[in-house]
A and B are shown apart, each in its own frame.
Chain A
Amino acid sequence: MNKHKPGCTRPDRRDALKAAAGAGLLALAPEAALAARQPEPALDTRSASLWSLWLDTLVPGAAQAGAADYLQAQLALPRDHSALFLRYMDWPGDYRAFYRDGIRAVDVLAQVRKGRGFAALDAPARSALVGEIAAGAPAPWVGPPAGLFYFVCKADGADLVFGTRAGFKQLGLDYRAHVEPASAWPRKA
């Protein structure tokens, strides 16, 4: 049986693929042009800000990694172009409503439990609330299933903090792209 030998991964060919493909994709969709064509936000500013805070509680670093931009960008895409983890969950309803209602349910739960909105809680209180939501049966909860909302959002946070080139670098991993993605996540052209 063959054994792995260090250095057998032929970085020369990987780099060639990465360079050629990355150049092509960037030529088609330069970041500046994409940014100039931003669609109207799918979530209002308060909801996006709250989601960013919620995600940063689940996976520290998510807010700085662009949580709000990520969600707005994905919700602006047609369903079959979305890169949301939610896509795997066969969620039959509207993706915007999933997030909008989930965020609202988190905030309402915080109000009922702690007398303040989620943003006004200190870190231990936020974490305790996350634990309750993760367990799946908080009350009151009016939104997508609480356990599913937690699971999906945490996976979103893992995407943002650990799933990009910057995230790999933070973990000490070589990204080893074959085709360099045009940007960390897709957005509407």
Chain B
Amino acid sequence: MRMAKEVDVVIVGAGQVGSLMAAKLAAAGRSVTVFEAGAERGAQSLASSQIWARQLKGTPGVVASGGADPLGVNFNTGQGAGGSAVHHYACWFRLHPEDFEMRSRHGVAADWPLGYEDLRSAYDAVQEEVGLAGDAAAERWRPPGADYPLPPFPRFRQGEVLARGFARKGLHVSPLPLAIATVPYKGRQSCIYDGWCDAGCPTGALANPLVTYLKWAKEQGAAIAYRSRVVRLVTDEAGGRVTGVIVSRDGERYFQPAALVIVAGFALETPRLLLASATERHPQGLANGSGTLGRYLHSHVAGGVFGLFNEETDPHLGVNGGQLLCQDGYAKPVAEGKDFVGGYQWLIGHSAKPNDLLGIACSRPDLHGAAFNAFMADAVKHFGSMTAVGESLPLAENRVELARELDEHGMPKMQVTHRWDDNAKRLYAHAMKEGVDIFRSAGAREAWHGPMAGMHLLGGARMGKDAASSVTDGYGRCHELANLFIAGPSLFPSGGSVNPTFTASALAHRSAAHIAAEWRRYTA
């Protein structure tokens, strides 16, 4: 097998956190090579079409997404430069302090090996680097931290209408914090509110990796190898260190030596690669002495609420993530009128296209024929929507496993298993009832809700203080391998009730600084 020239750092995956770590470690003077299984792409490939945009979604090697409540895999993943962050909605929130202590405070899930204060400065640094827009003072639920560097988004008619419903129910709203430029920022232009976010914002307003960390990584000298699938991590004879990776590209396999390896392949591909790298020293897969690798895969429990109003709402204007936020329901404990542990938030006033999974059409799967077309003609002027994002408790049985079937690189595909527990089902029912009530209070002539769905992929290689029950420490370093790190949402022991990209980025920012400062310790 051909051997490439050794580099300091190999990173697997050119998504949000892989790009971030590449930018930081290259800036620290390290030679960095990023291997990305998908293709290179630029802004010009981001066509404004929900039909074309499906090419951005992932097609990972999953034999089956099964279990009682299968997770939506393809929609939640990505492929190619920037990974799933290229089509993400840029809703960026901080976890709350108690999210890090679900076991010790509430007796469920697992504690993180770090607390909010450990991550606070990284949140502040990341939001300054990419440019977050919001109104910190209006977010009455927001943990302490620096003010947003950009002013909040404007409120369009749909936001005004739905805010009225929240106010009448005695609930609070704030502008949604978004990683989207509301004014020109660091050479990027400001948003023009056309709602093409998940088709991959080509204007540069949305802080996806193509215009932030991946761009900066290349500027700092990191090499990005596209269509290059890492099929195996290689360890030394003692099994205590990773010596490099085996890469498959254009039908050839070669060995890329590295002093340190970071796996940033997202919640499915990360455990897949470690499981597929089993050795005699690590028979259950690398870094799987605890037996937890691939387990505790979880998702946010989500549900959409929809309605039609007599007044025009301009539902096409704005950004896909929404206009407003409500976290009045974030409190964790069971209480009167709340029969579940964990909280939820509302993302309010999505910009909706006529078609696609989160467009207007799919809100009424029951209609067809002339009745459906009549609904569409009405709804494009009068539609409103919002989404509950709720906490689900990670279950050990929800997992990624290797399948027998091999992909075109000779790597085992995956089998994904998932079910919701009763706590998640109660949370969903509670939120949907509240959401429909809010729409009626806002004056909707019709209000309904969508099915229980998974939103985001988390866990699978969770971090923790105890090597007997987790895969990595608080910096993402694998307990059993001195120079192998994991980055991304696969590390999350629990997911709170907020979209994960900001927290995954903050974790990666903190870990990159740590690796740069402690380089000799990990590579000696």
Contacts and interface: CB of A to CB of B under 8 A. Distances in A.
Contact of B355 (A92, A134, A163, A186): A163
A83 B55 contact: yes
B72 A9 contact: no
B328 interface: no
Interface string B44-81: 10111111101101010011110000101111000100
A87 B74 contact: yes
A30 to B, nearest CB: 16
B361 A130 contact: no
B98 interface: no
A154 B365 contact: yes
Size bin of chain B's contact surface = 35 or more
Interface stretch (A32-40, A101-109, A138-146, A165-173): A165-173
B67 to A, nearest CB: 12
A161 B44 contact: no
B72 A90 contact: yes
A80 interface: yes
Interface string A72-105: 0000000111111101111010000000000000
Nearest to B58: A80
Contacts of A25: 44, 47
B354 A167 contact: yes
B155 interface: yes
Please report whether the interface of chain B is mostly helix, strand, loop or mixed according to DSSP.
loop
Size bin of chain A's contact surface = 35 or more
Interface in A146-189: 150-151, 154-155, 158-159, 161-164, 167-168, 171-173, 175-182, 184-186
Contacts of A150: 368
B369 A179 contact: no
A88 B357 contact: yes
Contacts of A87: 54, 57, 59, 74
B74 A90 contact: yes
B194 A178 contact: yes
A85 B369 contact: no
Q: Which of B153, B193, B201 has the most CB of A within 10 A?
A: B193
Nearest to B361: A158
Contacts of A162: 354-355, 361, 376
Contacts of B376: 158, 162, 171
Given A21-B202, A178-B48, A88 B155 contact: no
A175 B194 CA distance: 9
Interface of A: 1-5, 8-10, 13-14, 17-18, 21, 24-25, 57-61, 79-85, 87-90, 92, 127, 130-131, 134, 150-151, 154-155, 158-159, 161-164, 167-168, 171-173, 175-182, 184-186
